Amino acid sequence: MEIAVIRVILLGLISGLTNGAGVLPDGPLNATVGGTVTLTTTLTPTENPVFSVIWRFGDKNIITLTNTNTTAPEYEGRITLFIYTGSLELRNLALSDSGEYTVTILPHGAAELVGRTTLNVYEPIDSVRAEANSTDLVELSSVRLSCSSSGSSLSFLWMNGSSEVTASDRVHLTDGGSTLTITNVLCYDQGPFRCNVSNPVSDGTSDTINLIISYGPENTNLKLSPSQEYFEKGSNISLSCSAVSRPEAHFNWFLNGEELPDTGPELRLVNVQESGNYSCRASNIKTLRSETSVQSRVSVLGASITSSPNLPSEGNSVNLTCDAVGPSITRKWMKDGSDLSLADNMMFYDVNRVLSFQPLKKTDGGEYSCHVSNTINTVEARYIMVVNYGPENVQIKGDNETQRGQTFTLTCSAESEPSASYTWILNGKEIYSSAVYTKSAEPSDSGNYTCQVMNSVTMRSSSKVHGLTVTAGGGLSAGAIAAIIITCLIVTAASAAGGYYIYKKKVNNKPQLNNTVQLQQPNQEHVYENASLVYENV
């Protein structure tokens, strides 16, 4: 056998070795465990067998055909070699048969050919199963679905109905796609979900999973019947409430914000006497959520006052409009409980329906009422006018001078509606945002403090500047220091004079002393020094 192999190699060296591009099909080839695959060469069958064929799996020989046929023991009964093309059939495949296969062929009268390809053997897909950790869910909760299957090299694909499930901020695919987690579950996440599992040789699909998702209530809506702008006293009215909800919603009713004893999707009003704002609240016993409808007005000769859209600020033009329901209406305006007297900036339009301020003044704030009358009834509507103004009259209270280490407080105030915001600026730099600024003084705190006042409604601002000087503190003034220096000089002079006097007295009383210093008209400085010397000698 070794001689035959050597002969094949020598023939290859003599004829030239060709790495057989196209000798074997492009890989990888895919096959199933227990199945059969043929590694087919591209050689055209001839009348004579090929001269030599060697098949290898990795670095192991499978079969060698030269003068004799040699087959590896583990492949006995599992392979068939086609001697006219050099193709090889493998049967009863196992996962361990996956890998690279190499064929070396020496055809008659031609150069040696070498081909390579890769074979992947897979376990087939079987027993695909999908499960959910819960199928009874509440909207915005979470659910986890898992998929399992026999087989190898599995790929997982989740479907919701006919749509593929893809990852998003609330949809997560983990464990190679076998686990699907949905956070913040929504009503359209109910399914049906199914899991498709595949590999290159087979696929399978699980049974469907349907989720029961409780949601709502939402889109709560109230309707009046008959639907009309106003009603006469004694009318009968029906109100109905609906909402999108699973399970079906439970309904409660409210009049002007107060709960009524009535329940259910319909409320019947019999012999209505007064106007009111009706609303319904839908509740879900499963989600424990509720939603209230927009109020619906049942008007029985009513009146209301509305302000024009522009901001009720000082200097703006503002209109108050008194609207009423019913025929033959007359209107009477009052302010703060007294008949309204028109000022020079007020006027009426549209037969007292509109009260106009041109422009609005700060003093125009207060409670306005409109009394509406007809042959049926008289009603009143009220409106509190809040006039926005300012800021103005900015004031700063606080010391202009303080010492280092002492606490100083600056208080800023201004007239404003609504209340203004305050910003302190020191030497052009913002340092604090409040009306009151308190700090332990440092030399760097000296300077000009600007209080910037801003009204966020009128978008107006104003400011005031306050100067503050921080002194060193804890020391003496220049005058005090000068006084101390003068006092020290006086004491020094007196001490010098006293020393000189003692010197003279000692000299007169003890002429026998040695080392007596002779003084010759000393100036004051010399007197002091000589007096000290005499005193030491004594």
How long is the chain?
538
- Fold type of domain 214-298: Immunoglobulin-like (2.60.40)
- Rounded to 5 degrees, what angle do the CA atoms 121, 125, 131 make? 145
**Which DSSP letter does residue 313 get?**
B
Q: Tell me the average pLDDT across 129-138.
A: 96
Question: For the chain, what is the mean pLDDT?
Answer: 84
- Contact call for residues 381 and 362 (beta carbons, < 8 A): no
Domain borders along the chain are: 2-122, 126-210, 214-298, 303-386, 390-471, 482-537
Q: Tell me the average pLDDT across 33-43.
A: 94
Fold: same for 126-210 and 303-386: yes
The amino acid at residue 314 is: E
CB atoms within 10 A of CB 228: 11
Report the range out of 10-19, 59-68, 288-297 with the highest average pLDDT: 288-297
The CATH number assigned to the domain with range 390-471 reads: 2.60.40.10
Task: Using alpha carbons, select from 222, 213, 223, 267 the residue that is nearest to residue 245.
Answer: 213
Compute the distance between CA of residue 123 and CA of residue 5 in angstroms, rounded to an integer. Answer: 36
| Bond preceding residue 359 cis, omega within 30 of 0 | yes
* Predicted local confidence at residue 438, as pLDDT: 96
Give the CA distances from residue 121 to residues 35, 92, 128, in Å, rounded to whole numbers and listed in that order: 9, 11, 20
pLDDT tens digit sequence for 378-391: 778 899 999 999 99
* Predicted local confidence at residue 330, as pLDDT: 87
* Predicted local confidence at residue 14, as pLDDT: 31
Lowest mean pLDDT across 216-230, 342-356, 413-427, 520-534? 520-534
Residue 132, both tokens: 């959910």
Task: Using alpha carbons, select from 109, 93, 127 the residue that is nearest to residue 43.
Answer: 109
Pairing of strands 136-138, 212-225: parallel
- Fold type of domain 303-386: Immunoglobulin-like (2.60.40)
The CATH number assigned to the domain with range 126-210 reads: 2.60.40.10
- Fold type of domain 2-122: Immunoglobulin-like (2.60.40)
pLDDT at 62 over 60: yes
pLDDT class for 22, splitting at 50, 70, 90? confident
Compute the distance between CA of residue 517 and CA of residue 508 in angstroms, rounded to an integer. Answer: 13
* Predicted local confidence at residue 328, as pLDDT: 67
pTM above 0.85, yes or no: no
| Bond preceding residue 418 cis, omega within 30 of 0 | yes
**Strand, helix or coil for residue 219:** strand
Report the range out of 328-337, 483-492, 506-515 with the highest average pLDDT: 328-337
Give the CA distances from residue 238 to residues 65, 222, 265, 267, 305, in Å, rounded to whole numbers and listed in that order: 98, 10, 11, 6, 27
Tokens 């005090």 map to which residue? Answer: 480
